[in-house]
């Protein structure tokens, strides 16, 4: 089998491949043009990359023998995972391999900003002896705001506490118990922005976090604040950062990642002496590169030789026979997790997954991982996969319980997901109809419903009064929103009902506002599955 290694993956990883007698190993030196690269993949069985080489749909089409793509790193932005899944190609990454290296770079940036080390260094190189221009600030006693308390954020917090800093942590998914264990003060984003002397971000780039720190947030910060981004370019708005530095509001900033990479030569960021910049070096340590190189080599070797799947982002770690058995539950579990996540508050303490009837006979771990994947996607963004979800849940202080129940609801098999928080409990359950195992959601917060777990769901609690169904139907029609199916569940005649609609499109805000104005309607939610 032919293994193609790109992007300077560590020699220890390459050596692991070469130690296998079944493998022919080719190491590409430097980057090739797309057409030349397409020619080189015609007979490969696996490709290993870091971040430079793009494994696109076109590359996969040019590689008919390709079975696996290994990413020596965490993110898989340079791999078309959807295309790989369609073609049955396993995509593997190395979760956690660069945690320490990125945390250490972040804290190095904080220290460089505090003592103006890069600027003083350049002054000395220029032959100067200018002590007055480089007064710094001590870290001890200062407040460090950490946005995102995952693996890296937690390691940064440990280092900050060792330096005598007070740590304010913003993470809407971090439990209070986990915050206490990390010895950090849990705070909302506005409080972190207003109270911190230094702010560092460690969150995935999602629609929710893009531009999370922009002009409006910078205006509310302390005068002379310092900002650090070693996570993902785009979380801090670069245009607004430049303006903040020029105005003096931001005393300095340190960036390892950028909205556009490589950073354009004419970027205004380059002209600011208050800005410390590195070219995406978060994982660029000898130890991190050796770790991820060996880890990805071991995963691909085990898959190609033994058929075992490890650290895959697009399929569970199962053998082929078991995968066919649990596949329907994986899909239903992910949808239930996604549904409960959008109905529950962001901060939860416990997630209970119940396997009932025949479902109690399937392997629980892979299904639980897919439930967690759906539940935690809003917390972890694109970096969340079934490989790392248990670790992510642990980092957030989310206790996960799996329960096997042989008896319960009136179904031969069912899956139930419940999230518990200080605000109470939110739950949903599902089962399958017919010999073809059509998935259905049959419980929401203990109420019996029946809806298809896909597309857009519209949910509301309403008074059980005549004309309510016609009112909602007419309202949807006026706003050109088509109803695919409807489910109604009431507690008693004239009491409270739960209405669930499958919609063909997301209802516009004008429709939502009109529904909310009705005094007989409450808890209006739109869920995207």
| 3 state SS of 84 | helix
Choose, from 232, 347, 416, 447, the residue flagged as catalytic.
232
Q: Pick the catalytic residue: 261, 361, 401, 513?
A: 261
User: Residue 230: which residues within 8 A CB-CB, separation 6 or more?
Assistant: 102, 105, 106, 109, 152, 200, 202, 254, 255, 256, 257, 282
Residue 261 bears catalytic tag: yes
CA distance 504 to 492: 30
Alpha carbon distance 148, 144 (integer Å): 12
Phi then psi for residue 222, to 5 deg, are: -60, 145
Strand, helix or coil for residue 370: helix
Instruction: Look up 232 and say whether it is catalytic.
Output: yes
Question: Alpha carbon 313 to chain centroid distance?
Answer: 12
Count of C-beta atoms within a 10 Å radius of residue 372: 27
How far apart CA 60 and CA 35 sit, in angstroms, is 13
Verify cis geometry, omega within 30 degrees of 0, for the bond prior to 215: no
Closest CA to 274 of 318, 319, 329, 224: 224
What is each CA distance from 347 to 86, 323, 342, 427, in whole angstroms? Answer: 35, 32, 12, 15
CA distances (Å), origin 40, targets 27, 35, 45, 61, 398: 11, 9, 12, 13, 46
Is 280 catalytic? The answer is: yes
| Beta-carbon count within 10 A of 469 CB | 13
Catalytic one among 115, 166, 280, 490? 280
In SS3 terms, 163-177 reads as CCCEEEEECCCCCHH
Q: Specify whether the CB–CB gap between 444 and 529 falls below 8 A.
A: no
Catalytic residues, by residue number, are 232, 261, 280
């Amino acid at each position: 089998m032919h293994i193609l290694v790109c992007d300077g993956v560590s020699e220890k990883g390459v050596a692991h491949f070469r130690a296998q007698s079944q493998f022919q190993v080719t190491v590409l030196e430097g980057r090739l043009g797309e057409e030349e690269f397409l020619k080189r993949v015609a007979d490969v069985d696996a490709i290993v990359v870091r971040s430079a080489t793009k494994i696109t749909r076109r590359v996969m089409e040019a590689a008919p023998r390709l079975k696996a793509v290994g990413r020596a790193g965490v993110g898989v932005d340079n791999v078309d995972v959807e295309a790989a899944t369609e073609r049955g190609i396993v995509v593997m990454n190395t979760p956690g391999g660069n945690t320490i290296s990125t945390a250490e770079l972040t804290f190095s940036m904080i220290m460089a900003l505090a003592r103006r080390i890069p600027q003083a260094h350049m002054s000395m190189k220029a032959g100067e002896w200018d002590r007055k221009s480089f007064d710094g600030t001590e870290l001890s006693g200062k407040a460090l705001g950490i946005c995102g308390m995952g693996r890296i954020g937690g390691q940064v917090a440990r280092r900050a506490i060792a330096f005598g800093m007070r740590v304010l942590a913003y993470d809407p998914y971090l439990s209070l118990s986990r915050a206490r264990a990390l010895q950090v003060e849990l705070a909302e984003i506005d409080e972190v922005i207003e109270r911190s002397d230094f702010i560092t971000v460690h969150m995935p780039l999602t629609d929710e976090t893009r531009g999370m720190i922009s002009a409006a947030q910078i205006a509310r910060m302390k005068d002379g604040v310092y900002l650090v981004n070693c996570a993902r370019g785009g979380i801090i708005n670069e245009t607004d950062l430049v303006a903040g530095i020029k105005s003096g509001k931001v005393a300095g900033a340190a960036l390892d990642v950028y909205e556009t990479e490589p950073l354009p030569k004419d970027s205004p960021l380059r002209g600011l002496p208050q800005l410390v910049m590195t070219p995406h070096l978060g994982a660029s340590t000898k130890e991190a590169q050796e770790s991820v190189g060996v880890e990805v080599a071991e995963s691909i070797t085990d898959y190609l030789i033994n058929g075992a799947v490890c650290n895959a982002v697009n399929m569970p770690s199962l053998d082929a026979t078991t995968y066919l058995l649990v596949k329907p539950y994986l899909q239903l579990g992910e949808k239930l997790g996604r549904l409960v996540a959008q109905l529950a508050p962001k901060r939860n303490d416990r997630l209970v997954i119940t396997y009932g009837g025949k479902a109690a006979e399937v392997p629980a771990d892979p299904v639980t991982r897919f439930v967690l994947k759906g539940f935690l996607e809003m917390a972890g963004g694109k970096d969340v996969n079934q490989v790392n979800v248990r670790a992510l849940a642990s980092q957030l202080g989310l206790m996960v319980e799996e329960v096997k129940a042989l008896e319960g609801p009136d179904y031969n098999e069912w899956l139930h997901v419940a999230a518990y928080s200080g605000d109470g409990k939110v739950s949903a359950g599902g089962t399958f109809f017919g010999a073809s195992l059509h998935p259905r959601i049959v419980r929401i917060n203990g109420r019996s419903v029946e809806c298809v777990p896909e597309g857009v769901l519209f949910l509301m609690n309403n008074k059980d009064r005549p004309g309510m169904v016609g009112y909602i139907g007419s309202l949807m029609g006026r706003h050109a929103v088509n109803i695919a199916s409807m489910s109604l569940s009431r507690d008693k005649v004239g009491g409270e009902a739960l209405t669930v609609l499958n919609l063909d499109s997301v209802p516009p805000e004008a429709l939502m506002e009109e529904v909310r104005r009705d005094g007989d309607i409450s808890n209006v939610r739109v869920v995207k599955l």
